[in-house]
């Protein structure tokens, strides 16, 4: 338990963290990887190079300082991060390393403003915060290992089938190499894949949503090939999966994780909205609803650049064709001539508020969405304008958490 004086010192640093948080976390990661290069086998290098991880950590530190006397307030965020830590293999012994490095970064960036009193207060506060994470993650590790078909660490899976779903997305059907049972999962969860790529010094770990309903003998992930773009390098893992992983090859998976899950207890209508490869957790949810909850009213909305890159469309349309309770709508930013000739889409351009009002049958529903960050900002803003209660809005970021302030632009 922190003393009141320590709490007040931490709270007094909130404005400083708001201003210098990203500078602190940038320096933190530089120091961390210089002193402990083995941790490069855990962290996503692409998120580091793009600055997303630094921003996410800065936001987490800021929130922890702001609510240091009410850490239960940020428990949902703690659980979300803890799921990722468990899936990556972050352990209790990593926390002292992180704490020492964070204090060193604070001292370097703030200089004389980081007094001994402030650093001592942060050392105590970090200890409290770390204990919360360690406790939550310990329970997750235990549950992951002890559940039926569960395991600890990474388990060998064999690629049973590889299916090209669009010009940029391919599905991988994975079964355990040992022939044993696999852990159940909730629709919306993900698995981590640990991969050693020839020519790469470090191991790479990436998280991919499970794109089919639970209860199967396999896990399916549907991966977008991330080619290089201006200012953005190619995705090393996604390109390797597309180009080099074939039938019979072995991939190492952690057990399913994630807080973005379908509420199975809610009997109200469901609206699933996705952009690009963000449809993968939505298809898992749709398949589960169609198989196990056929009475629920479901609206599935997907935005893509055009039909060439629209994955899993046939599967969704087949599901929708079997039930009057399910409606599916496609929005194409730049449809091809073939898309136009075949009337393959319902809206040209981007998803907007008027169109959402037209296709969503009721606002008394649970809303789930996922996609690129600008897309998610637009959807979130539209749902706010529609008056959807915050408790009925659920979303997932691919990669480090961001914020969903209204966007000035949208992407498919």
What are the catalytic residues?
Answer: 95, 137
Residue 280 counted as an annotated binding residue: yes
Residue 206 counted as an annotated binding residue: yes
The number of angstroms, rounded, from the C-alpha of 279 to the middle of its chain's C-alpha atoms is 12
What is the strand order of the sheet 169-176 is part of? 204-209, 190-195, 250-253, 155-164, 169-176, 219-224
Contacts of 204 (CB under 8 A, 6+ apart): 44, 45, 194, 195, 196, 197, 236, 237
Q: Tell me the C-alpha to C-alpha distance, in Å, between residue 233 and each of 50, 328, 402.
A: 9, 34, 20
Return the sign of the alpha-carbon dihedral for residues 141, 145, 146, 147. positive
Residue 279 counted as an annotated binding residue: yes
Residue 411 counted as an annotated binding residue: no
Contacts of 234 (CB under 8 A, 6+ apart): 226, 227, 228
What is the number of alpha carbons within 13 Å of residue 326 lying toward its C-beta?
A: 22
Angle between helices 14-35 and 94-110 (to 10 degrees): 120
Residue 332 counted as an annotated binding residue: no
Q: Give the β-pairing of 219-224 and 169-176.
A: antiparallel
Helix (H) or strand (E) holding 272: strand 270-275
Task: Give the span between the Cα atoms of 408 and 185, in whole angstroms.
Answer: 36
Residue 281 counted as an annotated binding residue: yes
| CA angle in degrees (0–180, nearest 5) for 247-251-257 | 125
Residue 397 counted as an annotated binding residue: yes
Residue 277 counted as an annotated binding residue: yes
Residue 154 counted as an annotated binding residue: no
Instruction: Give the other-Cβ count within 10 Å of 17's Cβ.
Output: 22
- 3 state DSSP class of 356: helix
Residue 398 counted as an annotated binding residue: yes
Residue 294 counted as an annotated binding residue: no
Annotated binding-site ranges: 85, 190, 206-209, 276-281, 397-400
Q: Which residues contribute to the annotated binding site for FAD? A: 190, 206-209, 397-400
Query: Which residues fall in the annotated binding site for NADP(+)?
Result: 276-281
Annotated binding site for heme b: 85
């Amino acid at each position: 338990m922190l003393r009141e004086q320590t709490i007040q010192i931490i709270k007094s640093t909130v404005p400083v963290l708001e201003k210098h948080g990203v500078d602190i976390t940038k320096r933190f990661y530089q120091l961390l990887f210089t002193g402990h290069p083995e941790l490069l086998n855990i962290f996503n290098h692409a998120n580091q190079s793009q600055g997303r991880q630094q921003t996410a950590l800065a936001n987490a530190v800021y929130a922890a300082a702001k609510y240091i006397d009410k850490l239960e307030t940020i428990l949902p965020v703690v659980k979300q991060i803890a799921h990722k830590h468990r899936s990556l293999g972050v352990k209790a012994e990593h926390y002292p390393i992180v704490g020492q490095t964070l204090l060193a970064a604070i001292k370097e960036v703030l200089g004389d403003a980081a007094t001994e009193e402030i650093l001592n207060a942060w050392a105590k506060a970090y200890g409290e915060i770390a204990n919360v994470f360690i406790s939550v993650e310990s329970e997750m590790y235990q549950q992951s290992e002890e559940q039926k078909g569960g395991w600890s660490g990474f388990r060998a899976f064999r690629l049973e089938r590889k299916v090209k779903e669009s010009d940029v997305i391919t599905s991988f059907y994975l079964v355990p190499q040992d022939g044993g049972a696999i852990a159940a999962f909730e629709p919306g969860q993900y698995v981590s894949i640990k991969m050693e790529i020839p020519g790469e010094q470090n191991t790479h770990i990436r998280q991919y949503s499970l794109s089919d309903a639970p209860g199967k003998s396999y896990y399916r992930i549907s991966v977008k090939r991330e080619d290089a773009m201006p200012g953005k390098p190619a995705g090393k893992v996604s390109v390797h999966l597309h180009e080099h992983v074939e039938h019979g090859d072995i991939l190492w998976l952690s057990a399913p994780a994630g807080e973005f899950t379908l509420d199975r207890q809610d009997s109200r209508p469901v609206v699933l909205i996705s952009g690009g490869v963000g449809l993968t957790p939505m298809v898992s949810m749709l398949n589960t609803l169609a198989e196990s909850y056929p009475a629920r009213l479901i609206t599935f909305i997907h935005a893509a650049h055009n039909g060439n890159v629209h994955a899993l469309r046939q599967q969704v349309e087949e599901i929708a064709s079997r039930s009057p309770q399910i409606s599916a709508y496609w929005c194409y930013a730049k449809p091809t001539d073939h898309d136009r000739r075949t009337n393959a889409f319902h809206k040209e351009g981007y998803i907007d508020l008027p169109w959402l009002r037209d296709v969503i049958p009721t606002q008394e529903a649970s809303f789930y969405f996922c996609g690129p960050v600008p897309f998610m900002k637009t959807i979130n803003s539209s749902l706010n304008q529609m008056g959807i209660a915050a408790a009925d809005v659920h979303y997932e970021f691919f990669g480090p958490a961001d914020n969903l302030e209204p966007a000035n632009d949208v992407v498919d």
